[in-house]
């Protein structure tokens, strides 16, 4: 009987057919893009889609890139155990989209860059660019390993699919269409995978509503179980999820992911106009809202079904990340092919993130390490180099899956990685974009100080996880289970998977510094980098002796509210940037600026 514990069904033949069909479909898109663009062999075409992409597919790709298998599996488990507070990330997504579209996109688009870290050399120095790129590669490789491993482990233990066989197959498919199709293949595959992910959530919610007697009953059960108390206005930064930690800390964290992460930057600078680039982020915001809403409601549906028999406490599963796969096999196994659709949804998220990471890692390696040294490579040599690097980074990401196996709860671990490394990097970018007095010495030392602090608190939190007083898990019961480990008691689910072992002796910092909400890691790194960087820059003389180009800084006319009132000619920016940064004025990024300048000039005359 559904919702009363015990073993669940395994995959049927039709489930394997649906799952395999999805994987082969993704590979087919890559092959199609490779055949379609076989005459276009330039690096710009491979890495940026020829800068001719439009807003909607790019927006769906932006959403799919970080709505990974971790999101498909981790977010419903989060809502099941901690309530609907995760839905408040909708506010963070809105803030992130506006900041990225209005501040970062115009700057990167104006400079016509391929690697986001080119800006660091333009503004500071080449060593800082190399350090920034190296930090990104380390972060992305570890995160991608987590993305590959965690869903594979959860699904392996529920469906019986061979763990390492699926891991290698996932990596092989990603390598195939990244190597042959480039960014266009990645983006169009992401569109398909986004649709499949959403379909998986809808299937879970629809079946749950039928079993429970409607969506209203699910909502009532969630309210009675305390799952709808999302708005906690406690200002304590040590509490894991409150309104303030999510809207402030979460916003900064997502800004760091979308504004300076190469996987995302590479997408919106591939758009054919600046307008399409900005629009892709706003459409992406809506996509994120839909995805997180469906994911959270899937978690509430799961609670409604298991409110009297928690599979984790009952011993039916071993980690929280197996909750949703267990539910799927419990309630959807009577419909052949539907569990396969869910597994395909989880793996679609994995494929989209892994392919995005591989393509971005290739881009930064080529632009930041190879091109500055080997300037006379032919297009054919660059093409083969791009393909070879795609294979290398795909293999590296599969290898990092082993490291990811000790990271604990997948959703929190994934976001913590970004907070620890992207926070100091975001602080460095903001230091350069907003303050003319900052110099390379201040930027470098500020980033190092910020990175040391975030790694200290992040690693400490992994070793000494916060107590239940800070994480606030909600009660779960096993009173209604058919077979239980211990009859008729209520328990609190642990905040991480059993992989993380709590030491018996906790140091004084464990309940203060190490208990800082993981969403504040990024905020801590950003503020520390900016403040210490400014202080060191002032001590070392600032930029008085340096002539800095105004295009390296945020400008009023970049914003929508000022752009229509600006009287300056964007064509002046085009020639100036082309001259100073040694890039062609026929770059489509500059062409768009030129067109905008003419439109503004005509409007002014009228």
- pLDDT tens digits, 200-225: 889 889 999 999 989 999 999 999 98
- Does 2 reside within a domain? no
The whole-angstrom separation of Cα 228 and Cα 212 is: 18
| Residue 201 DSSP SS3 | helix
Quick one: pLDDT band at residue 183, thresholds 50, 70, 90? low
Report if residue 270 sits inside a domain: yes
Q: What is the pLDDT of residue 109?
A: 83
Question: Is the same domain home to 516 and 603?
Answer: no
Residue 562 has pLDDT above 60, yes or no: no
- pTM for the full predicted model: 0.79
Same domain, 42 and 187: yes
Asked if the structure places residue 8 within a domain, the reply is: no
Decide if pLDDT at 311 tops 70: yes
Does 279 map to a domain?
A: yes
Question: What is the tally of structural domains in the chain?
Answer: 2
- The per-residue pLDDT for 517 is 87
Radius of gyration of the chain (CA): 24
Asked whether residue 193 carries a pLDDT value surpassing 90, the answer given is no
Residue at which a domain ends, from 554, 571, 589: 554
For residues 197 and 47, the answer to whether their CB atoms sit within 8 Å is: no
Residues 6+ apart with CB under 8 A from 570: 593, 594, 596, 597, 598, 600
Residue range(s) defining the domain that contains residue 513: 13-554
Please indicate, yes or no, whether residues 367 and 233 belong to a single structural domain of this protein. Answer: yes
Looking at residue 157, its pLDDT comes to: 63
**Tens digits of per-residue pLDDT, 452-507?**
999 898 888 878 887 777 777 788 888 878 754 443 333 333 333 334 444 457 77
Give 468's contacts (C-beta < 8 A, 6+ positions apart). Answer: 492, 495
Looking at residue 449, its pLDDT comes to 95
Residues 456 and 577 reside in one and the same domain: no
Percent of the chain scored above 70 by pLDDT? 73
**Residues 571 and 597: beta-carbon distance below 8 Å:** yes
Rounded to the nearest integer, the mean pLDDT of the chain is: 76
Looking at the predicted structure, is the pLDDT value of residue 303 above 60? yes
Q: Are both 459 and 575 inside the same structural domain? A: no
| 476 three-class SS | strand
602 pLDDT above the threshold of 70: no
Residue with the bigger pLDDT between 3 and 277: it is: 277
**In the block, residue with structure tokens 């490394």:** 421
110 belongs to a structural domain: yes
In a domain, 346, yes or no: yes
Rounded-to-integer distance, Cα 300 and Cα 546, Å = 57
Tens-place pLDDT, residues 49-106: 445 566 677 777 777 666 666 777 888 988 998 888 889 999 999 999 999 988 898 8
Q: Are strands 490-492 and 475-477 parallel, antiparallel or unpaired?
A: antiparallel
Eight-state DSSP code of residue 473: P
| Per-residue pLDDT at 402 | 62
Judgement on whether residues 561 and 538 belong to the same structural domain of the protein: no
184-188, 222-226, 452-456, 598-602: which range is least confident on average?
A: 598-602
Q: Highest mean pLDDT range out of 29-43, 149-163, 184-198, 354-368?
A: 354-368
Verify that 543 and 577 share a domain, yes or no.
Answer: no
Give the 3-state secondary structure of residue 498. coil
Local structure of 597: helix, strand or coil:
helix
Other CB atoms within 10 Å distance of the CB of residue 24 = 10
The tens digit of pLDDT for each residue in 404-445 reads 655 555 556 666 777 788 899 999 999 999 888 888 999 999
H or E segment at 490?
strand 490-492
Number of helices followed by number of strands (H, E) in the chain: 24, 2
Q: Output the pLDDT for position 484.
A: 47
Tell me what pLDDT residue 587 has.
Answer: 37
pLDDT for 181: 55
Residue 4 lies in a domain: no
Let me know whether 491 and 580 are in one domain. no
346/354 Cα distance (integer angstroms): 13
Is 188 domain-assigned?
yes
- 180 or 582: whose pLDDT is higher? 180
- For residue range 241-282, list pLDDT tens digits in order: 889 999 999 999 899 888 888 878 877 777 778 888 888 889
CA 142 to chain centre: 13
Residues 548 and 605 placed together within one structural domain of the fold: no
Same domain, 570 and 535: no
Residue 423, domain CATH: 1.20.1730.10
More confident residue, 152 or 582: 152
Closest by CA to 328, choosing from 299, 294, 293, is 299
Considering the domain architecture, whether residues 419 and 565 belong to the same structural domain is answered as no
CA distances from 413 to 355, 369, 463, 544, 547 (A): 20, 29, 12, 42, 42
Q: Are residues 21 and 111 in the same domain?
A: yes
């Amino acid at each position: 009987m559904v919702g009363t514990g015990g073993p669940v069904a395994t995959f049927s033949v039709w489930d394997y057919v649906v799952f395999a069909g999805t994987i082969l479909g993704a590979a087919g898109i890559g092959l199609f893009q490779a055949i379609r663009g076989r005459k276009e062999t330039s690096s710009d075409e491979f890495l940026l889609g020829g800068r001719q992409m439009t807003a909607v597919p790019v927006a769906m790709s932006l959403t799919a890139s970080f709505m990974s298998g971790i999101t498909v599996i981790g977010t419903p488990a989060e809502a099941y155990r901690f309530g609907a507070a995760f839905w408040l990330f909708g506010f963070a997504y809105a803030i992130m989209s506006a900041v990225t579209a209005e501040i970062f996109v115009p700057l990167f688009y104006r400079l016509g860059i391929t690697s986001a870290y080119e800006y660091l050399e333009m503004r500071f120095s080449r060593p800082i660019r190399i350090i920034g790129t190296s930090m990104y590669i380390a972060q992305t490789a570890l995160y991608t390993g987590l993305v590959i491993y965690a869903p594979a482990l959860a699904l392996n233990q529920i469906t019986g699919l061979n763990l390492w066989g699926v891991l290698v197959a996932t990596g092989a498919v990603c390598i195939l269409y990244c190597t042959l199709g480039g960014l266009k293949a990645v983006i169009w595959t992401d569109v398909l995978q986004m649709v499949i992910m959403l379909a998986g959530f809808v299937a879970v919610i629809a079946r749950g509503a039928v079993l429970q007697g409607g969506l209203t009953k699910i909502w009532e059960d969630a309210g009675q179980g305390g799952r709808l108390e999302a708005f906690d206005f406690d200002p304590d930064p040590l509490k894991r999820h409150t309104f303030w930690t999510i809207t402030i800390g979460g916003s900064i964290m997502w800004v760091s992911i979308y504004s300076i992460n190469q996987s995302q930057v590479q997408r919106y600078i591939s758009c054919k106009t600046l307008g399409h680039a900005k629009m892709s982020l706003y459409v992406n915001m809506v996509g994120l809202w839909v995805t997180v809403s469906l994911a959270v409601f899937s978690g509430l549906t799961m609670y409604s079904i298991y409110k009297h028999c928690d599979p984790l406490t009952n011993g039916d599963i071993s980690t929280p990340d197996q909750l949703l796969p267990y539910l799927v096999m419990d309630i959807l196994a009577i419909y052949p092919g539907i569990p396969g659709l869910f597994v395909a949804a989880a793996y679609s998220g994995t494929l989209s993130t892994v392919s995005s990471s591989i393509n971005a890692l290739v881009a930064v390696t080529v632009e930041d390490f190879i091109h500055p040294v080997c300037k006379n490579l032919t297009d054919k040599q660059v093409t083969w180099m791009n393909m070879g690097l795609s294979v290398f980074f795909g293999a590296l990401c599969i290898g990092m899956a082993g490291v990811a196996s000790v990271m604990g709860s997948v959703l929190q671990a994934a976001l913590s990685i970004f907070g620890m490394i992207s926070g100091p990097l975001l602080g460095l970018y903001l230091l350069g974009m907003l303050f003319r007095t900052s110099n390379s010495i201040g930027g470098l030392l500020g980033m190092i100080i910020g990175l040391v602090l975030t790694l200290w608190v992040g690693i400490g939190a992994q070793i000494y996880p916060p107590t239940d007083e800070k994480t606030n898990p909600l009660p779960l019961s096993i009173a209604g289970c058919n077979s239980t480990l211990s009859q008729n008691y209520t328990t609190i689910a642990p905040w991480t998977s059993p992989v993380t072992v709590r030491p018996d002796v906790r140091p004084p910092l464990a309940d203060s510094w190490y208990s800082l909400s993981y969403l504040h890691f990024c905020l801590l790194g950003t503020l520390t980098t900016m403040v210490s960087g400014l202080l060191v820059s002032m001590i070392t003389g600032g930029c008085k002796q340096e002539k800095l180009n105004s295009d390296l800084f945020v400008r009023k006319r970049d914003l929508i509210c000022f752009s229509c009132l600006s009287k300056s000619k964007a064509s002046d920016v085009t020639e100036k940037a082309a001259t100073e940064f040694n890039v062609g004025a026929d770059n489509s990024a500059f062409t768009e600026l030129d067109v905008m300048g003419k439109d503004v000039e005509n409007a002014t005359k009228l």
